[in-house]
Amino acid sequence: MGTFFELFLGNWYCWFKSFYSDYLSQYLWGYNPVSGAYDLELRYNTIGLYTLGISLLMVILYYYVIDHPRFCKWWSWLIVALVNSAIALFVGYYCVQSDYDAGKIPDELLYSRDENGEIIQYLISIPGECWSFGISNMFMAFLFFIILSFLLHWWSRVAKYSPFIKF
């Protein structure tokens, strides 16, 4: 396991871990069943940074590009936040699904096999858990959007008080 900052996003994702299995979580933490160590890519960070980046773009879009007098009410902010979450849902789904398709998820985390190598149990259900992770990524994106809105709304010309002062 890495430093506090390396683990920061993963720890946040774990708040919403109940949507998917421990096996998928293990993969996302970078667990390597062969070595028994966390030496694979820390996917939480990669996907988290994608989501953070998209949320940042959406916040900038809302506060500085759209910045429209008719689109500065709390509900307009909420619409953009929900759109951001919806994008995150698909990003989460796509990342796990593409990792699976590319064979990046270790077999040991995907299946339980008998002595003959026959699959006796699917440890990670695909594509169900891709969507489940997408849902947790959706919550993360909403969280990012709130935090970034707090940080970046000050310099908006029109939407400065959206959604923090009730209109």
Q: Which of 150, 148, 143 is nearest to 164 (CA)?
A: 150
d(CA 118, CA 138): 35
Contact between 108 and another protein (CB under 8 A)? no
Contact between 72 and another protein (CB under 8 A)? yes
- How big is the CA angle at 105 (ends 97 and 39), to the nearest 5 degrees? 130
Question: Rule CB under 8 A: which of 138-167 touch another protein?
Answer: 157-161, 165, 167
Contact between 64 and another protein (CB under 8 A)? no
Of residues 91 and 159, the one with the C-beta less far from another protein: 159
d(CA 31, CA 60): 35
Task: Rule CB under 8 A: choose which of 18, 35, 70, 114 binds another protein.
Answer: 70
Footprint on this chain of another protein (rule: CB under 8 A): 67-70, 72-73, 157-161, 165, 167
